[in-house]
Structure 1
Amino acid sequence: MKFYIEEIRYCGPDGRTDKYIDFDRFEITTEPTRTNMTGEVCLDGWLGMYDDVTRYAHGGYDSLAAADYAIQNLLGDEYRLDDEPSEFPDVLAVYRPGRLPPMSDETLGIWLQDVDVPADADNAALRRQARDLASELEDMGVSVSVVRIWLCLESLRDDAREELED
C-alpha cells in the first residue's frame, strides 16, 4: 500500500471568515492524488483549483511513517494533527498549519468589543496592547497575529476619537 500527501488551501476572498479560517490542511491518503481537470495521477505539483480551493500533491510514500515525516518537513514545528477523523475513508490523517487554530476576523472583532482602547493611545501603546492580547489569546488556545490585533485596535482607537469629536 502507498500513502499520498495532498495539500488543500482556500485562496478566495473570505480567508479570515469563520468558515475558512482553519480550512488549509495537508492530508495523508491511500488514494493517489489526481488533477481535477483530467483525473490523471499526479504525485508532485499543482492539481488544480475549484471554488477558490487549490490542491497540490506532495509525493507518494511506502509507509505511513514516511508520509508523516514528509509532512513534518513541509510544515516544520508549526503544525497540529486533527483530532477528529476525516469524513473520507481514504484520508488517514489531517494536519493543519500552525501550532494553534487561528481566530477569525469576526470572532476577533467580537472578542475585542470589551477591550478598552483610549482615544489618545499612540501607536507604540497599541503595539504593546496588541502583543499582550495576542499572548492572552494564545493562552486561550487560539492564535492571532499581533499585526491583525494592532489593526483592529487602531480602528477602535479611531472610532473612539470620532466619538470625542462629535
Structure 2
Amino acid sequence: MISCVGGEIIYPFIFPILFRGALLSLDGFPDNPTPFNREQIREHILNVKKTFPAEQISGGNHIVIDHGNNEFSLLAHLKNGSLLTKKGDRVEQGQLIAKCGNSGEGSTSPHLHYQLMDHANLLKAKGLPIQFFDYEGSIFEDQALNVIGEPAEVTDVLKTSGVILIKTK
C-alpha cells in the first residue's frame, strides 16, 4: 500500500500499471491535504463536493478499463493531473497511465485502490474475483494470492466488517 519513512511519504507505484483495454478516466479532483488528518480531509471534500460527479468524489481521480465480457478494472485515488489517458483511449500492457495519489473521499493517504468489477460505474458495480498474472516476491504469495475470491454484495461484506453506513439524501 504505502510506506512512510521518517515522515516522508513514498508513493509505491513508480512502474507502469499493467492492463489492456479501452478506458474511461476522470481527473482534476484536488489531492487530499495532509495524510491521515481526517478532519482536514473531510473539510476538503466538503469544499469540492459540489463541483464533481459522485463517482469521482468517492474514487477521486480514477481510471476504468473495459476488458470486454462485462469486466472492468478500477484504479482509484490517483494523483491529480497525473492521468496520461482520456476517455476512449486504448491502453496496452506496460503503458504508464497514471501515478498513485491521495484523491477522493475514501482516501486518507497515498495508495492505489484496484478492483475488478462488473460495471463501468464504480457506484453501481459488484466486485469480481481477481487472478494476478505473473506475480511473485511477496510474503503473502503462498497464502493470500492463491485464493480465488467470490463476488459478494457490499452489504454482506459490511455486515461482517464492523463498518457503519449512514444514508444521506
Band of TM-score, shorter chain: under 0.3
Is the radius of gyration larger for structure 1 or structure 2? 1
Higher RCO, 1 vs 2 (CA within 8 Å, ≥6 residues apart): 2
Decide which structure has greater helix share.
Answer: 1
TM-score between both structures, scaled by the size of structure 2: 0.23
